[in-house]
Amino acid sequence: IYANGAALSMQPHPEFELEYSAGVIELRRNNPLNHNEVQAALDSLYAPMDNDFVGNALGEFFWRAARGQNLRA
């Protein structure tokens, strides 16, 4: 926490490989998820990652907070 009250909290979950996550999703097929729900979940696994966006946002937050700049702009 900075003197200006700025704080940031997040909890990314990189601990599971895509194949493991896909297997867990498949286990839920028809129990309780239907085909469309399972497919949507699987599709989301293989969507492009936001790593660059998140990294840039974190860098910008800390850069601005360290300089006492408005973080909402």
Maximum Cα–Cα distance for the chain, whole Å?
52
- What pLDDT sits at residue 1? 52
- Predicted confidence (pLDDT) per residue in 11-40, tens digit: 777 678 889 999 999 999 999 999 999 999
Task: Measure the CA–CA gap between 11 and 25, rounded to whole angstroms.
Answer: 21
Q: One-letter amino acid identity for 4?
A: N
Model pLDDT for residues 48-70, shown as the tens digit of each residue: 888 889 889 889 888 888 887 76
Closest CA to 22 of 36, 7, 40: 40
> Rg of the Cα trace of the chain?
18
